[in-house]
Chains A and B, each alone.
Chain A
Amino acid sequence: MSQFESGSLTGKNLHLAFGSNKVLRGIDLHVEKGTAASVIGPSGSGKSTLLRVMNRLIEPDQGDILLDGRSVLKDSPDELRRRIGMVFQQFNLFPHKTVGENVAFALRRLRKLSRDEAWTEALAQLDKVGLKHKAEVRPATLSGGQQQRVAIARALAMQPEVMFFDEATSALDPELVKGVLALMTDLAKEGMTMVVVTHEMGFSRNVSNQVVFMDGGVVVENGSPDQLFTDPQTDRLKTFLSDVL
């Protein structure tokens, strides 16, 4: 029932340091095609950095990244990022463009659609997140939840093979979280490969089919939600879970 051409994603022995600060210390992570993996862990554990390294917004010092089993480090990083959609904590919509243009812009410039085709496609994507009627307004007139749904539509419009969510609900008022989570849940059910950095333990436990616990720049535990939440193997994960649950 998958409607996406999604792919698997693998990080191998990824290292990254900012000066003497070692943020990633040898991350190995495999997310199977159609899997929604959630990445949990204390702040400062390198979760958001891991996303940025895996789509090469930040180049790793060492290690390899494979999309659909093929190393992408020799490709153009711009090309790679077209294949991986990303949704940010702060939405990062373009405030000087309308909602519709936010979605259509990359379609026109990167997917080389004509102006009309791009607009039609943008409206279709906005329709999926229930915001087609907002196509003509500026993002600033939308609520946080609506803005984040537009950001998701903008990423999906590029027909990515993998979607990254970087604490996509953390900046939202509690009342607005539900709509965005529901959208992410639908995506996961429709078979999109997802890597979701999140503090929403409910999502991690009930929606994702793989949970990755990071701490101090390494993957401490990695497995099914049942394994990690009901039978944590390490003290670090036990401590973390007792702090957040």
Chain B
Amino acid sequence: MDAWSRLADTFLNWKYIAEVVPTMLSYGLLNTLVLAVCSAAIGMVLGIVLALMGISRNPVPRWIARIYTDIFRGLPAVLVILVIGLGFGPIFKDLTGLSSPYPLAIIALGLMAAAYTGEIFRSGIQSVDKGQLEAARALGFGYGPSMRSIVVPQGIRRVLPALMNQFIALIKDSSLVFTLGLMTRERELFQIGQDFASNNGNLSTLVAAAIFYLVLTIPLTHLVNYLDNRLRTGKAQKAEPDEAAAVIGKGSHA
């Protein structure tokens, strides 16, 4: 009985939760979203470039994309964030006059996202039937325009669920920027929860952070499932008269 109330106090102390929620709402949530959305944007743009390099007929870009992908997929996220955030801090400050590592954190997350996104795009583009490229070329489109207007759009459509998953991963990985020691106003959900937790000697504020994350990620997960289902089965289709006839025809042969 005593153990239950102790646990409840440790994880669900409403006083501490009530204290942290306004802070999370005023900038923590925003920072998490800014980190995730901006790094996702970098990841998408760089990812599509990597994917196109990866399927190039020229081996040089293909190898560059390969090496980049292997490095950024092979390293722990926290290590990349620290190395880029701290290591490039001074140069970044000389170049831009900004002393905050916040933009560098976005870049670090974006560079890692690009490695994963690039592989997602590449697999999508390569999964498009080669008859599509052939048909576009047979009409008189060059290789580039055929890829751009026919093959790549189909490939991207197919990997939308995987891309959403990547975005969910970014929302969670954005918590790792706490290692850079950001200014108060730059802190995101996890670090705010963590700061309050160590000040109060109570984990309830981390539970509050957890709930914020779940409110973001669970609907997105279900959106992924919905997209996945719709892409796989398509919208309900009306059978064509001669398709119906074909079915009847087949039956009559049997």
- B153 at the binding interface (Cβ < 8 Å): yes
Q: Is there contact, CB below 8 Å, between A96 and B134?
A: no
Given the contacts A141-B237, A175-B242, A176-B246, A106 and B157 also touching, CB distance less than 8 Å: no
- A143 at the binding interface (Cβ < 8 Å): yes
Q: Is there contact, CB below 8 Å, between B131 and A175?
A: no
| Partner-contacting stretch, out of A20-28, A76-84, A186-194 | A76-84
Residue from A106, A145, A146 in contact with B139 in the complex, judged by beta carbons closer than 8 Å: A106
- A182 at the binding interface (Cβ < 8 Å): no
Given the contacts A92-B131, A96-B153, A173 and B246 also touching, CB distance less than 8 Å: yes
Determine the residue in chain B with the shortest Cβ distance to A80: B140
Q: Is there contact, CB below 8 Å, between A94 and B150?
A: yes
CA distance A142 to B138 in the complex (A): 22
Residue from A93, A106, A151 in contact with B140 in the complex, judged by beta carbons closer than 8 Å: A106
CA distance A7 to B98 in the complex (A): 68
Q: Is there contact, CB below 8 Å, between B250 and A173?
A: yes
What chain A residues lie within 8 Å of B245 (beta carbons)?
175
Residue from B134, B135, B138, B242 in contact with A146 in the complex, judged by beta carbons closer than 8 Å: B242
Residue from A57, A82, A105, A145 in contact with B134 in the complex, judged by beta carbons closer than 8 Å: A57
- A131 nearest CB across to chain B (Å): 11
- B221 nearest CB across to chain A (Å): 26
CA distance A93 to B131 in the complex (A): 9
- B137 at the binding interface (Cβ < 8 Å): yes
**Which residues of A (169-198) have their CB < 8 Å from a CB of B?**
173-176, 179
Q: Is there contact, CB below 8 Å, between A57 and B137?
A: yes
- A154 nearest CB across to chain B (Å): 7
CA distance A99 to B145 in the complex (A): 20
What chain B residues lie within 8 Å of A151 (beta carbons)?
135
Residue from B129, B139, B145 in contact with A82 in the complex, judged by beta carbons closer than 8 Å: B139
CA distance A94 to B152 in the complex (A): 12
What chain B residues lie within 8 Å of A84 (beta carbons)?
138
Name 14 extra pairs, CB < 8 A, besides A88-B134, A110-B141, A143-B242.
A55-B138, A78-B140, A81-B137, A81-B138, A88-B135, A92-B129, A94-B136, A106-B141, A110-B140, A140-B237, A146-B240, A155-B139, A158-B140, A175-B249
